[in-house]
Structure 1
Amino acid sequence: MYRALRYIGPVGLGATSPQLFRAENDCGDVKVCVVKLSTNRLGTKVLVNELLAAQFGEWLKLCFPPGGLIHLSPELLKGSRRLTAAAVPSGWHFGCEYLQGVRYVDKYDLHRVVNKEQMAGVMLFDHLFHNPDRTENRKNLLIRRERSGYKLYAIDNSHLFRRGKWTINKLKELVDTITINHRRSYGVLLKYYLKPEQLFNYAAAVKAIGDDKLARFMDGIPEEWLPDGTERQALHEFLLARRDKADWVAEKLSRLIPNVHQGSDMD
């Protein structure tokens, strides 16, 4: 969780009009956070989607920027004319840590990336929760040069369930389906760099997520983000069902990995 300390201004990109805040996390560290407000034009379900991704990112050790609930106090809001004019409410919003020094990735960058294996987990996550936006929007995969080498980061999980504003009927429609995404960077990763065992290792980690963990996650979603109890129950049931289908999703993805490098040491 984070506590907003100071408003910086708009990011300037994105359908949800994200904003930048300086914030303090639970450890007392001060970070710059990209914040999606509960008043964003796509609605509060995109915040639920982002919180879901942040939690799975933590459980699976994916290359998502750290994120979670961020609290905006009435005092902070009163200090900003922009936020006051926009009628931003105090309370809980979603924030993730801002990444400095990044650029958009293209397929020619992938050979130098040191954390390609993590992308097996990101791809599994995207297919479990029907997120086509990672490749449809080329701004959702970033690369940054770090001490260990070039590292990929996956950002923006607003459009889970094929669109941010899901319904109970949409969840029921999607629970037993999969649409394989092998466009752009995903196709290159599957063709040249990933191995089936990497996908299945992440699938095993997903299946190891206990019912109690998923129940606690659901309990942690702010009431004002998802006030309808039947929608909460439908989402909970969807998470349980998709968790148990992780091997099936991994198997579908692994079919796109050529036999020529399935057992190789290519990195």
Structure 2
Amino acid sequence: MLTALEYLGSVGIGVTSPQLFRAHDGKVYVVKLQNNRMGTKVLVNEYVACRFGQLMELCFPPSDLIQIDEKLLKKNQRIKRAGISRGPHFASQYLHSNRYVAKRDLQRAVNKSAMAGVMLFDHMFHNVDRTKNRKNLLVRREETSYVLYAIDNSHLFVRGRWNAQSLEKLAPQIVINRLRSYGWLLNNFLAAEDFVTYAAKVRGITDEELYGLVESIPQEWLSKESDRAALLGYMITRRNMVDDIVAALCQSIPNINRRTNSYQGK
């Protein structure tokens, strides 16, 4: 867990009103707070994406829980005015010198095949916000190349807010998103083989790893045991469906040459 040492101010955009903090490791983080207006479920969503994304090795910025303690609250009046409270919040490392992704960026990005993993994750967790909100894909110049990053996973499960009943309803559904950047990727860049590696990583995730993920969610964010059980059940179901999800994605690749040796779940 990170520890916040310095409050730097508001990000200025975003429905969850994220704030900027410098942590004990010297890095700057975008922090979503427990008392954001959308509720703590969006923090759960971000944390699930962080941990699941690590297992899939996705191009998400490094993220973790961050502790804002009483000492920092007392030291900075701006924190009090912003209504920030103590306790664990969610932090994602701030990426300097970035911009929102345009079509031309996909052409020159060195890691565009990594978007197959992000696309698979989004389809597993019904994250349609990635294409509805163009601010959720970034590109950054790193040394001599351009690198893509996917940020902001607050709106998993369609709207971000969910309960046991809504997860049960969403779990068996496969809905392919071809909007905007995902349409560009499927039409022009991604091939079936790009999805194979990520599908294998998902299949390799164990029940024990998913159980540990759910158990590590702060109690302050997710207090109902029924919600925790539903979340675990959802992830197990979606993991077991990964080959069907990837097959549906590959069927959306219009170029038959990039669909050759169509995905067989191997």
TM-score of the aligned structures, taking structure 1 as reference length: 0.94
Mapping of 1:211-222 within 5 angstroms?
211-222=207-218
Change (3 A) 1:233 1:168: same
Alignment partner of 1:90 is 2:86: yes
1:22–1:32 CA contact under 8 A, matched in 2: yes
Within 2, Cα distance between the matches of 1:143 and 1:185?
Answer: 13
The CA deviation at 1:42 is 0.3
What one-letter code is carried by the residue in structure 1 that aligns with 2:22? Answer: R
Aligned ranges 1:5-24 → 2 under 5 Å: 5-24=5-24
1:129 pairs, out of 121, 125, 130, with 125
The answer (yes or no) to whether the contact 2:136–2:151 under 8 Å persists in 1 is yes
Shift of 1:86: 4.3
2:82 is the alignment partner of 1:110: no
Percent identical: 52
Alpha-carbon deviations, 1:31-87, whole Å to 9, x = none?
Answer: 100000000000001000000111122111111001011111111112222322344
Check conservation: 1:114, 1:148, Cα contact below 8 A: no
Q: State the 1:200 CA deviation.
A: 2.5
Partner residue in 2 for 1:262: 259
Contact 2:64–2:92 (8 Å) recurs in 1: yes
- The letter of the residue matching 1:104 is Y
- Count the aligned residue pairs: 260
SS at match of 2:59: coil
Question: Deviation of residue 152 (structure 1)?
Answer: 0.5
Aligned residue in 1 for 2:75: 79
Query: Where do residues 232-243 of structure 1 align in structure 2 (5 Å cutoff)?
Result: 232-243=228-239
- Alpha-carbon deviations, 1:169-222, whole Å to 9, x = none? 110110000221111111111111111122122111111001111111111100
Code of the residue aligned with 2:86 in structure 1: it is S
Could you list the structure 1 runs, at least 4 aligned residues long, displaced by more than 4 angstroms after superposition: none
Secondary structure at the aligned position of 1:30 is classed as coil
* Residue 31 in structure 1 maps to residue 30 in structure 2: no
In structure 1, the residue matched to 2:151 is: 155
Q: Is 1:175–2:209 an aligned residue pair?
A: no
- Give the aligned CA root-mean-square deviation in angstroms: 1.3
Asked whether 1:245 is paired with 2:205, we answer no
1:210 to 200, 206, 216: 206
| Corresponding residue for residue 264 of structure 2 | none
8 Å Cα contact 2:103-2:181 kept in structure 1: yes
1:136-159 CA-partner distances (Å, limit 9, x unpaired): 000000101112511110000000
In 1, Cα distance between the equivalents of 2:175 and 2:144? Answer: 34
AA paired with 1:91? G
